[in-house]
């Protein structure tokens, strides 16, 4: 089962893996919001204030002096709703004199807001033209005061017309001196006073004198867009993580393969990757090289009881670091005093000759197909402490091809004895690695690796050397590695952190079909940790390092003649 994030460190790892989504999306969203805001036409807003005199209204209509009988909040809301009347906006459109201005346009570009702490109405009008905004706002405020006066005095005017009609009737009958006529006269006076007071119930307190530029701030919109983009980026990052089928932890690889972890190898420096150089040769004292020395020690200890001499290194698919891993481990074994032969049997994509910068006329292809002798095809690689390579061919009639390396014809011995590892006085410059390249690539690689001659060559190498390391093809890419699995003593799997789960499960099934002993797996592409870097003052200045000393004698006979 895929592992799920359970700790803060797991979530931080997810965010770090998806950092480009989390960085790029907020920046893009913020920039889009900024650009859109910058391109928008400017907008202007003008405001006018209208004062509502509720005391006069109450005094004129109810003949009382207590205005608190009215609900001020309800009153102001009612007046604000009256101000949005289509009849009023029609009058405003006509009074403003702006070409093409309609009542609906006024309603869409304006607002009427009551003040919660005073008897004021705020008339706000927005327009792309500042002067037009001021003109409409002032017309709106003036027309509202007149419109309100007309509404408030409508009943009084009707009542006055009725009173005057009755008074004229009494005058016609000659009853102008009676009590009825006097009462009507009194009502008429009160209504005239009330109408006068209602006429002043609303007035423009503060006309609009200018318009302020409004609209969203580009800077504010950038921040808002960036925050929205960040939320979206986090959602996409965790969704992508949930859909990602790659393995992110070594524990999941170990559980799926059912093999012990032999060591972790981080990415070498970018310069070495671009130049296809081996870290054990280019930077033998670096922390990257130390990782291979630890890996060599782990392989030695786990191989104590199994006593495997021919070990095949394979992977699930190409580009997992298999060839560079086996090459660096071979150098680590050679520098520790082991008599090591490195064989390139990845016949579809041979790379060891390129990694060691050698060119040979003969290889295992010539041995199997053309019956070339092993001594003529085997190359002797000297490993100086400076990281360079001195190479010569064993035998081969002196026909070794120089490729920029110093030839050493005098080193023609085909066997050498190391009893109990190197002596304390031997330097790295005396370390020797024996390389058997692929040579001529055969047309039918599967049939080639099924040849009995391959078994004979590997057995002969196993008798001459303490350890034979085989660079095999990827296990899932072709069937070559399965065929080789029957001809070696043990298998080491090289897999990269981030391998897809289906490939990992297929690799597990294929490994169980191999008869050879499974020693464990090497994890490449692992992140570097502080402990691996010897960050506590441990240096690499000495020529002889503690990790170069082989483990104590454990009963295995390392003497080969």
Residue 281's CATH number: 3.40.50.300
What token pair was written down for 19?
A: 């950092």
Is residue 507 situated within a structural domain? yes
Q: What is the pLDDT of residue 148?
A: 85
Q: What is the pTM of this model?
A: 0.57
Over the stretch 290-317, which tens digit does the pLDDT of each residue have? Answer: 999 999 999 999 998 888 999 999 998 8
Round to whole Å and give the CA distance between 256 and 504. Answer: 7
Is residue 543 situated within a structural domain? no
Is residue 554 situated within a structural domain? no
Asked if 234 and 313 sit in the same domain, the reply is: no
Asked if 285 and 329 sit in the same domain, the reply is: yes
539 vs 347, which has greater pLDDT? 347
For residue 77, give the H/E element and its range: helix 72-82
Round to whole Å and give the CA distance between 308 and 488. Answer: 8
Over the stretch 24-36, which tens digit does the pLDDT of each residue have? Answer: 989 998 888 888 8
Section 186-196 average pLDDT: 76
Asked if 523 and 391 sit in the same domain, the reply is: yes
Asked if 72 and 118 sit in the same domain, the reply is: yes
Section 87-103 average pLDDT: 89
The strand pairing partners of 401, in sequence order, are 359
Is residue 470 a contact partner of residue 399, using CB atoms and an 8 Å limit? no
- Could you say which of 202, 225, 243 is where a domain stops? 243
Over the stretch 330-346, which tens digit does the pLDDT of each residue have? Answer: 999 999 989 999 999 88
CATH no. for residue 64?
3.30.1890
Asked if 151 and 61 sit in the same domain, the reply is: yes
Average pLDDT, the chain: 77
Asked if 257 and 392 sit in the same domain, the reply is: yes
Check residue 106 and give left, alpha or beta (phi > 0: left; psi -120 to 50: alpha).
Answer: alpha
Q: What is the pLDDT of residue 275?
A: 82
For residue 198, give the H/E element and its range: helix 179-199
Is residue 395 a contact partner of residue 373, using CB atoms and an 8 Å limit? yes
Q: Highest mean pLDDT: which of 146-150, 154-158, 168-172, 239-243?
A: 146-150
Residues contacting residue 433 through CB under 8 Å, at least 6 positions apart:
330, 331, 334, 340, 342, 380, 381, 383
For residue 290, give the H/E element and its range: helix 287-302
Is residue 474 a contact partner of residue 321, using CB atoms and an 8 Å limit? no
Section 181-190 average pLDDT: 79
CB atoms within 10 A of CB 338: 22
Q: Highest mean pLDDT: which of 201-205, 383-387, 517-521?
A: 517-521
Section 160-170 average pLDDT: 81
Is residue 331 situated within a structural domain? yes
Over the stretch 10-65, which tens digit does the pLDDT of each residue have? Answer: 778 778 878 888 899 899 988 888 888 777 667 888 999 998 876 544 454 445 44
Is residue 549 situated within a structural domain? no
Asked if 236 and 200 sit in the same domain, the reply is: no
Over the stretch 407-439, which tens digit does the pLDDT of each residue have? Answer: 333 333 333 332 233 333 344 446 899 999 988
470 pLDDT more than 80: yes
Is residue 546 situated within a structural domain? no
CA 460 to the chain's CA centroid: 52
Asked if 117 and 226 sit in the same domain, the reply is: no
Round to whole Å and give the CA distance between 498 and 217. Answer: 44
Section 479-485 average pLDDT: 76
Round to whole Å and give the CA distance between 416 and 560. Answer: 7
Round to whole Å and give the CA distance between 497 and 254. Answer: 11
Q: What is the pLDDT of residue 57?
A: 47
Residue listed under structure tokens 């500042």: 130
Is residue 417 situated within a structural domain? no
Q: Which domain holds residue 36?
A: 8-40+217-243
**Half-sphere exposure at residue 341, Cβ-oriented, CA atoms within 13 angstroms:** 29
Is residue 391 a contact partner of residue 404, using CB atoms and an 8 Å limit? no
Reference 485, options 521, 457, 522, 510; nearest CA is 510
Asked if 190 and 273 sit in the same domain, the reply is: no
Q: What is the pLDDT of residue 440?
A: 81
Q: What is the pLDDT of residue 172?
A: 79
432 vs 369, which has greater pLDDT? 432
**Half-sphere exposure at residue 204, Cβ-oriented, CA atoms within 13 angstroms:** 18
Confidence category of residue 6, pLDDT binned at 50, 70, 90: low
75 pLDDT more than 50: yes
Buried b (16+ CB within 10 A) or exposed e, 56-80: bbbbbeeeeeebeeeeeeebbeebb
Domain count, the chain: 3
**211 by DSSP, 3-state: which?**
coil
Round to whole Å and give the CA distance between 80 and 52. Answer: 11
Q: What is the pLDDT of residue 180?
A: 81
Residues contacting residue 64 through CB under 8 Å, at least 6 positions apart:
58
Is residue 536 situated within a structural domain? no
Confidence category of residue 372, pLDDT binned at 50, 70, 90: confident
Asked if 95 and 36 sit in the same domain, the reply is: no
Reference 16, options 450, 445, 527; nearest CA is 527
Q: CA distances (Å), 287 to each of 415, 529, 530, 533, in order?
A: 32, 11, 10, 5
Asked if 367 and 505 sit in the same domain, the reply is: yes
């Amino acid at each position: 089962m895929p592992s799920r994030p359970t700790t803060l460190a797991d979530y931080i790892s997810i965010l770090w893996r998806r950092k480009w989504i989390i960085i790029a999306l907020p920046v893009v969203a913020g920039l889009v919001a900024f650009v859109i805001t910058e391109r928008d036409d400017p907008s202007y807003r003008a405001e006018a204030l209208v004062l509502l005199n509720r005391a006069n209204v109450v005094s004129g209509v109810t003949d009382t002096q207590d205005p608190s009988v009215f609900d001020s909040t309800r009153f102001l809301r009612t007046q604000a709703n009256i101000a949005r009347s289509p009849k009023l906006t029609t009058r405003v459109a006509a009074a403003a004199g702006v070409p093409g201005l309609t009542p609906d346009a006024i309603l869409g570009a304006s607002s009427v807001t009551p003040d919660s702490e005073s008897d004021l109405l705020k008339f706000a009008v927005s327009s792309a033209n500042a002067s037009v905004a001021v003109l409409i706002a002032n017309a709106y405020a003036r027309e509202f005061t007149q419109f309100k006066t007309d509404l408030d005095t409508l009943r009084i005017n009707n009542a006055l017309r009725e009173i005057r009609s009755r008074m004229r009737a009494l005058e016609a009958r000659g009853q102008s001196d009676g009590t009825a006529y006097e009462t009507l006269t009194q009502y008429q006076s009160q209504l005239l006073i009330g109408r006068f007071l209602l006429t002043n119930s609303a007035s423009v307190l503060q006309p609009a004198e200018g318009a302020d530029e409004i609209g969203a701030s580009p800077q504010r919109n950038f921040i808002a867009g960036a925050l929205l983009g960040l939320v979206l980026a986090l959602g996409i990052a965790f969704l992508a993580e949930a859909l990602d089928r790659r393995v992110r932890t070594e524990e999941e690889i170990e559980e799926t393969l059912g093999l012990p972890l032999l060591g972790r190898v981080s990415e070498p420096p970018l310069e070495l990757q671009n130049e296809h150089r081996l870290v054990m040769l280019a930077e033998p004292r670096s922390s990257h090289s130390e990782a291979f020395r630890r890996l060599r020690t782990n392989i030695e200890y786990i191989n104590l009881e199994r006593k495997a001499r021919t070990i095949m290194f394979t992977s699930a698919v190409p580009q997992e670091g298999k060839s560079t891993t086996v090459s660096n481990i071979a150098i680590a074994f050679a520098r520790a005093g082991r008599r090591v032969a490195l064989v390139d049997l990845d016949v579809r994509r041979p790379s060891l000759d390129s990694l060691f910068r050698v060119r040979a006329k003969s290889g295992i292809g010539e041995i199997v197909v053309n019956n070339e002798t092993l001594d003529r095809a085997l190359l002797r690689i000297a490993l100086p402490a400076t990281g360079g390579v001195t190479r010569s061919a064993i035998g081969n009639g002196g026909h070794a091809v120089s490729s920029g390396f110093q030839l050493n014809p005098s080193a023609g011995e085909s066997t050498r004895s190391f009893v109990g590892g190197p002596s304390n006085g031997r330097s790295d410059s005396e370390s020797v690695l024996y390389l058997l390249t692929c040579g001529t690539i055969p047309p039918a690689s599967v049939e080639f690796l099924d040849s009995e001659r391959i078994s004979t060559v590997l057995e002969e190498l196993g008798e001459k050397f303490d350890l034979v390391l085989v660079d095999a093809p990827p296990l899932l890419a072709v069937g070559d590695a399965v065929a080789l699995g029957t001809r070696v003593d043990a298998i080491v799997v090289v897999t990269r952190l981030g391998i897809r789960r289906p490939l990992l499960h297929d690799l597990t099934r294929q490994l169980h079909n191999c008869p050879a002993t499974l020693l464990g797996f090497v994890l490449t592409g692992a992140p570097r940790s502080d402990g691996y870097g010897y960050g506590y003052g441990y240096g690499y200045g000495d020529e002889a390092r503690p990790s170069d000393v082989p483990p104590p004698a454990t009963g295995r006979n390392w003497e080969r003649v």
